[in-house]
């Protein structure tokens, strides 16, 4: 590892505690360089996962990768007083979304037993044991092994989840942008947090998974009724439907590239996408940091990601296009069934 864990952790401390602009600038430059080192291991690990799926005859709905946003790094350090940046495990993350629970569990088993030189340090199963917020996914944390110093020892996180779980997580992130809160970290308006917990349990029932602990004694009928009432009370469906960034013109251009820098402005409902080839990755990470420094409020966000096409990019990161259409369709179906079955009478 080119930068020691202690050096990176000190840079993280400076980032959130220092009042010196010069010190913060130096810390940001180090953090950005260290963050960019995760790109090569990410690409290697993602390609390995794709081959693993092919050999196992599992077809993911999508596979993508991203570098953690600076705002998310700062927020996580602020939220967890004992956390040190050098030990943060998801600076570089990649994700596979599967069509159903059967494929999800099959892939989990394959990953756990697959032989490889990179150490699998930890597995967090938030599908069998969902977070209190309702979040469901399975996380695998790897320690990357390489003869190249700057890559050796870096931690890379893989997340796998179903399409339904992906829709839920996307809606939570989008609603967080709307409410200017971190709903995915269980912070924000209680009524929105409660709504997503209810939907998480309803989705779990549909997928044959355990409900949240707070709903263990609740019937599907009562949860459906509460989901319907929350939607009406908070005007959730209309609020989510009112958002959305069209990218049809961008999809037609195909946008061939290796990395995409996505800048979203929630208030203007606009998205700016800059495409970079592999050979220009240093320019991409520098531009990433430059935009991050300029963002002053939560209505704007930027992220550097990788996907094979614009269409897949939107599927992988729908929250960056304010797109909750699949989640809305699921909720509308729940509400329609609630009415047709007479649960509201």
Q: How confident is the model at residue 8 (pLDDT cuts 50, 70, 90)?
A: very high
For residue range 25-61, what is the model confidence (pLDDT) as tens digits?
A: 999 999 999 999 999 999 999 999 999 999 999 999 9
Count Cβ atoms within 10 A of the Cβ of residue 16 and give its class: 0-12 exposed, 13-18 middle, 19 or more buried.
middle
Count Cβ atoms within 10 A of the Cβ of residue 152 and give its class: 0-12 exposed, 13-18 middle, 19 or more buried.
middle
Quickly list DSSP for 24-63: HHHHHHHHHHHHHTTHHHHHHHHHHHHHHHHHTT---SEE
Quickly list DSSP for 70-109: HHHHHHHHHH-TT--GGG-S-SEEEEEEESSHHHHHHHHH
Q: Please, are residues 6 and 86 in contact by the beta-carbon 8 Å criterion?
A: yes
Cβ neighbours, 10 Å, residue 279: 8
Q: What pLDDT is attached to residue 56?
A: 94
Tokens 């609630």 correspond to 338
Query: What three-state secondary structure class fits 284?
Result: helix
pTM, full prediction: 0.87
CATH superfamily for domain 5-162: Beta Polymerase, domain 2 (3.30.460.10)
Q: How confident is the model at residue 292 (pLDDT cuts 50, 70, 90)?
A: confident
Q: What is the spatial distance between Cα 8 and Cα 20, in angstroms, rounded to a whole number?
A: 18
Q: What pLDDT is attached to residue 174?
A: 83
- Nearest Cα residue to 49 out of 157, 164, 149: 157
Q: What is the spatial distance between Cα 187 and Cα 78, in angstroms, rounded to a whole number?
A: 13
Q: Is the pLDDT of residue 129 over 80?
A: yes
Name every residue whose Cβ is closer than 8 Å to that of residue 13 and which is 6 or more positions away in sequence. Answer: 84, 85
State both tokens at 176. 């967080």
State both tokens at 287. 């531009």
- DSSP-derived pairing of the beta strands 62-67 and 92-98: antiparallel
Angle at 331 between CA 329 and CA 335, to 5 degrees: 115
206-210 long-range contacts, CB within 8 A, separation 24+ = 206/164, 207/100, 207/101, 207/162, 207/164, 208/101, 209/101, 209/127, 209/128, 209/136, 210/128, 210/130
- DSSP-derived pairing of the beta strands 138-143 and 62-67: unpaired
Q: What is the chain's mean pLDDT, rounded? A: 88
Q: What is the spatial distance between Cα 47 and Cα 50, in angstroms, rounded to a whole number?
A: 5
Name every residue whose Cβ is closer than 8 Å to that of residue 121 and which is 6 or more positions away in sequence. Answer: 141, 142, 143, 155
Q: Is the pLDDT of residue 187 over 60?
A: yes
Tokens 């990218």 correspond to 247
Q: What pLDDT is attached to residue 3?
A: 81
The full set of domain ranges for the chain reads 5-162, 188-243+324-340, 248-321
Q: What is the spatial distance between Cα 174 and Cα 151, in angstroms, rounded to a whole number?
A: 33
Cβ neighbours, 10 Å, residue 19: 6
Q: What pLDDT is attached to residue 250?
A: 52
Q: Is the pLDDT of residue 217 over 70?
A: yes
Rounded to an integer, the average pLDDT of 244-255 is 54
- DSSP-derived pairing of the beta strands 138-143 and 155-162: antiparallel
State both tokens at 72. 């998310």
Q: Is the pLDDT of residue 20 over 60?
A: yes
254/235: higher pLDDT: 235
């Amino acid at each position: 590892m080119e930068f020691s864990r202690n050096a990176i952790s000190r840079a993280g401390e400076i980032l959130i505690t220092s009042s010196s602009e010069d010190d913060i600038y130096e810390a940001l430059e180090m953090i950005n360089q260290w963050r960019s080192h995760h790109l090569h291991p990410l690409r290697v690990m993602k390609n390995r996962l794709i081959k693993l799926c092919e050999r196992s005859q599992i077809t993911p709905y999508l596979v993508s990768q991203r570098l953690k946003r600076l705002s998310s790094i700062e927020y996580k350090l602020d939220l967890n007083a004992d956390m040190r940046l050098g030990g943060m495990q998801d600076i570089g993350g990649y994700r596979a979304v599967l069509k159903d629970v059967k494929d999800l569990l099959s892939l989990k088993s394959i990953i756990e037993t697959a032989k490889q030189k990179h150490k699998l340090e930890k597995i967090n199963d938030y599908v069998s044991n969902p977070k209190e917020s309702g979040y469901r996914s399975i996380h695998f944390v790897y320690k990357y092994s390489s003869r190249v110093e700057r890559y050796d020892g870096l931690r890379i996180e893989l997340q796998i989840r179903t399409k339904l779980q992906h829709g839920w997580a996307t809606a939570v992130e989008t609603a967080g942008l709307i409410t200017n809160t971190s709903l995915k970290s269980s912070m924000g308006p209680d009524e929105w947090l409660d709504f997503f917990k209810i939907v998480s349990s309803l989705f779990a029932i549909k997928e044959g998974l355990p409900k949240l602990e707070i709903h263990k004694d609740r019937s599907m009928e009562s949860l459906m009724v509460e989901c319907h009432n929350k939607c009406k009370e908070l005007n959730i469906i209309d609020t989510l439907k009112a958002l959305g960034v069209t990218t049809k013109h961008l999809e037609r251009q195909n946008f061939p590239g290796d990395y995409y820098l996505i800048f979203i402005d929630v208030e203007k409902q606009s998205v700016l996408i800059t495409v970079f080839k592999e050979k220009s990755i240093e320019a991409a990470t520098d531009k990433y940091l430059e935009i991050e420094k300029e963002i002053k409020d939560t209505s704007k966000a930027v992220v550097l990601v990788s996907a094979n096409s614009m269409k897949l990019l939107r599927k992988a990161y729908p929250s960056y296009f304010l797109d909750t259409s699949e989640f809305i369709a699921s909720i509308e179906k729940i509400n329609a069934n609630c009415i047709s079955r007479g649960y509201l009478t």
